[in-house]
Amino acid sequence: MAGKSSISKRIAILGLSNILWGLIPWPASNLFKDYSSLLIIFTRFMFMSFFLLLIVGILLIIDRIKVKDKNKSINLRKLIQYLKSRNYEFFKFPQWAYLLIVGIFGLNSMTILFFLALKTIGVITTSIGVLTSLVIVTAINWGRGKEEMTKFKVLYLTTLIGATFILGYISQVYSISESSVSFGSIVLVLIYGIALSFFVITGSTDKMSLNEFKIVKENPRYQLIRTFFKLGMLGFFSALVYIPSLFLMSKFHFNEQIDSEITLFFTHLSDWWKIALNFDGIILIIVCTLIPYVIYYIMAANWPKHTSFNLWVGVMQLIEPLINIIIGITLLNEVFPLSWLLIIIFLFGIAIFTRYLSETETQIFAIFLLKIKPQFQLAAMQKAFTIKPVKEVSHMIGDYDIFLDTQLHSSQALNKFIQQDILTLPGLIRYDFLIITNNILEKD
C-alpha cells in the first residue's frame, strides 16, 4: 500500500509541472505588450540557468561541509567529468554536445515557435502543437519498437487526432485574429509540435554511467546535484547560442513578423533585466519555468523502476493543452464555445484512459537467469544495474549466477533487450528467462 501511495504522490507532482507549464500563456501574453517574445525567452533561460547553477554551488558547499572524506564529496571536477563523458544513448556524443544540441533544436526551437504562435494566432490554436507532439512521439516509439500498436493505442491516437481537428476548426471559426486562419499558422503549429517531440524524445536519453552509479552509491546527493547542473547547463547553452543565432538570422529576410521580432530583440536587449523584475516576468521565470523543469527532471531521475515514467509523462502532458484552453477563455478573452470545450475535455479523458490501458496491457514482466564466467560476474552485475528495464539485480548460488527482474513495454522491446543488452553482457555463458503475466494477487 505504501508503494501505491508513493507512486500516486509522484504522479500528482508530475501533473503539477504540466499545470504550471500550461499557465505560461497568461504571464507571456502580458509581457508581449511591452517586449519582444524573443527577448522574453532569452531572459527566461538566462535566469533559469543562473538560479540553477547558483543552487548547484550552494549544494556543493553544503556537501563539502557534511562529507569529511574528500574522495566521496561532490565537487566541480566531478561535474566537469560528467560534461566530458559520453552519452551512449545519444550517438556517443559528449554530454556537453548532447545538451547543446537539445538546447538548440529542442528547448530553444520549441519555445521560440510556441511564443511566436502564441503571439500571432492565440493560445487555443497553439495548444494543437502539444497534441501533435503526442501523436508524433507515439508513432516514433512504435517505429523504434518501444511501443506496440494495440487496439487501445489506436483508440488513443484516434481520440488525439479527433481533438486536434476539433480544436483547429473551432478556434478558426471563432477567431478574432485574421492571421490565425493563414496556412503559415498551421505550419508554425506543426513545426512547434515536431520541435516539442524532439525535446521529449531526446530529453530522457541521459542514462547515468557506471562510474556515476558508483558515485551515487557513495554519496546519494550526486543525483540531485547532477539533475540541477544538467538543467542549468541546458538553460545556459540555450541562452549562449541565442544572440549569435539571431544576429545571423537578422542578415536574412523571413517574414514581417519574424523580422520585426528580431529587430525588437536587439533594440530592447539592454532592458532584459526589466523583464526579470516585472511581476509577470517573475511568474514566467520562477513559477512557469524553473519550478516545473526542476520537478520534471527530479521525477525523471528518481522515478520507480516498477512503473513507466514515459507512460505518465504522456498521460500528464494532456493537462497542458487543457490548461492552455482554459487560460485562453478566462484570462485572454479568446472565444471557444462551452459545448465544444466539454467535448474536448471528454476526448482528453478518453485519451488518458486509453493511454493508460494501452501501456499496462502490453507490459511484460520477465525474470532472467544468467550464467556468467566467474571473473566477469561483478562486471556483468554492474553493467546490468545500469540497464533501464532492469528493476533488480541479485547474485545467485546454483546453476545460474545472476538474477534480473525486468519490466518491458512490448515484445519488440523484449527482443531488443535480449539482443542489445543480455547478449552483450561480459562473460555470458548462457541465459534463460521466464515471462510473468500481470495477473498478480497482492496481500495487503
Provide block-wise average pLDDT over 10 residues at a time, the chain (444 residues).
Answer: 66 92 94 92 93 94 88 91 90 93 92 91 90 89 75 90 89 60 77 91 79 85 91 92 87 81 90 91 94 87 71 82 91 88 92 81 84 92 84 87 86 86 94 73 38
To the nearest 10°, report the CA torsion of 424, 425, 428, 432: -90
Angstrom distance (rounded) from CA 425 to CA 390: 13
pTM of this prediction?
A: 0.82
Query: Cβ of 353: how many Cβ atoms within 10 Å?
Result: 15
- Specify whether 332 is located in the same domain as 428: no
Angstrom distance (rounded) from CA 332 to CA 342: 19
Tell me, what CATH number does 385's domain have?
3.30.70.920
Task: Give domain status of residue 384, yes or no.
Answer: yes
AA identity, residue 373: K
Per-residue cell: 441 = 494477487
- Specify whether 330 is located in the same domain as 244: yes
- Specify whether 250 is located in the same domain as 322: yes
Count Cβ neighbours within 10 Å for each residue of 146-176 and write b for 16 or more, e otherwise. Answer: bbbebebbebbbebbebbbeebbebbbeebe
- Specify whether 225 is located in the same domain as 139: yes
Q: What is the pLDDT of residue 253?
A: 79
Task: Give domain status of residue 396, yes or no.
Answer: yes
Say how many CA atoms lie within 13 Å of 292 toward its Cβ. Answer: 20
Q: What is the pLDDT of residue 58?
A: 94
Task: Give domain status of residue 134, yes or no.
Answer: yes
Ranges of beta strands (E only) in 300-438 are 364-372, 390-395, 402-408, 428-436
Q: Which of 341, 361, 381 is the last residue of a domain?
A: 361
- Specify whether 400 is located in the same domain as 269: no
- Specify whether 335 is located in the same domain as 372: no
Task: Give domain status of residue 201, yes or no.
Answer: yes
Per-residue cell: 102 = 537539445
Task: Give domain status of residue 311, yes or no.
Answer: yes
**Taking a C-beta distance cutoff of 8 angstroms, is the pair 354, 155 a contact?**
yes
Q: Which of 320, 338, 361 is the last residue of a domain?
A: 361
Task: Give domain status of residue 75, yes or no.
Answer: yes
Per-residue cell: 233 = 547547463
Angstrom distance (rounded) from CA 313 to CA 320: 11
Q: Which domain holds residue 14?
A: 2-361
- Specify whether 412 is located in the same domain as 335: no
Alpha helices in 23-36 (DSSP H): 25-32
Q: What is the pLDDT of residue 292?
A: 93
Query: Cβ of 315: how many Cβ atoms within 10 Å?
Result: 21
Task: Give domain status of residue 441, yes or no.
Answer: no
Q: Which of 299, 330, 361 is the last residue of a domain?
A: 361
- Specify whether 391 is located in the same domain as 356: no
- Specify whether 347 is located in the same domain as 382: no
Angstrom distance (rounded) from CA 436 to CA 364: 7
Alpha helices in 250-337 (DSSP H): 256-267, 272-277, 279-282, 291-302, 309-316, 319-330
Angstrom distance (rounded) from CA 150 to CA 154: 6
To the nearest 10°, report the CA torsion of 419, 425, 429, 431: -50
- Specify whether 382 is located in the same domain as 356: no
- Specify whether 325 is located in the same domain as 380: no
Domain count, the chain: 2
* 373 CB-near residues (< 8 Å, 6+ apart): 427, 429
Which residues pair with residue 431 across a beta bridge?
370
Angstrom distance (rounded) from CA 109 to CA 178: 25
Ranges of beta strands (E only) in 80-134 are 86-87, 93-94
- Specify whether 26 is located in the same domain as 99: yes
Task: Give domain status of residue 444, yes or no.
Answer: no
SS3 content of the chain, % helix, strand, coil (to 5): 70, 10, 20
